[in-house]
Amino acid sequence: MSTARQIIALIKSQIEGEDQQFYSAALQIAAHEARQGHGKLAQEIRELIDEAKNRGSAIERKNSAVPLVQPKGELANLLSARYPETKLSDMVLSSELETKLQRILTEQKQRSRLQNYNLSPRRKILLLGHPGSGKTMTAAALAGELQLPLMTVIYSSLIGKFMGETASRLQLIFDAMSLTRGVYFFDEFDAIGAHRNSANDV
Ligand SMILES: Nc1ncnc2c1ncn2[C@@H]1O[C@H](COP(=O)(O)OP(=O)(O)O)[C@@H](O)[C@H]1O
Ligand SMILES: [Mg+2]
């Protein structure tokens, strides 16, 4: 049997998409098996590695593909998911705004480094501006840059006429947030506030 450490190294390198580390971890397992006298098994592993190396580019494409997520069940009525290809560089931005948005991206990309210092990246931003000023586009660009799904909240099915209905649907959305990483976009956010005085919901 290969040691647990070798298997962990193998899995880690696959998750991180580190091909070279993956090959070297696999070769170590082959060497280990050979030392145990399992020559045939070792040979089989080496052949698999050679095959994988020869396919090179195909593996890379697979690694860079974004895993698709789609809301299911009741959530499917509340969130619409898409994978924008918008980039920050597609936008016309004041340098002040660009710096702010870049900083959000940096914090997200380096979140594990921040976590080492018990800090977390900013996770909530409020976009304010006239119609057509680029709020939706900004949300799409953040998702595009971070290779995350853009989850847009569908208000027509969020706001209910019965007491507590809206709140329990919001809870579903917040639960989804803690499970699935993404850019959750509450477009026209003031629509929720506007309904606070409605007679049938609290
Ligand atoms: N800062 C910008 N840079 C480039 N294009 C923009 C910008 N702001 C708006 N646009 C263009 O106008 C369209 C509408 O903008 P949008 O993001 O929907 O505005 P909002 O959500 O604020 O109403 C976008 O799809 C984009 O084509
Ligand atoms: Mg918009």
Give the span between the Cα atoms of 195 and 159, in whole angstroms.
8
Instruction: Please write the tens of the pLDDT for every residue from 178-198.
Output: 888 999 999 877 766 655 565
Atom of ligand 1 nearest to the CA of 91: 3
CATH 3.40.50.300 assigned to domain 75-194? The reply is yes
Instruction: Please write the tens of the pLDDT for every residue from 166-178.
Output: 888 889 899 888 8
Lowest-confidence pick of 60-69, 117-126, 134-143, 167-176: 60-69
When pLDDT is averaged across residues 54-68 and rounded to a whole number, the result is 47
Domain range summary for the chain, segments of one domain joined by +: 4-64, 75-194
Mutate to test the pocket of ligand 1, among 126, 128, 137 (most ligand atoms within 8 A of CB): 137
Give the span between the Cα atoms of 30 and 23, in whole angstroms.
10
Atom of ligand 1 nearest to the CA of 138: 17
Give the span between the Cα atoms of 29 and 37, in whole angstroms.
13
The neighbourhood of ligand 2, an ion, using CB within 5 A, equals 135-136
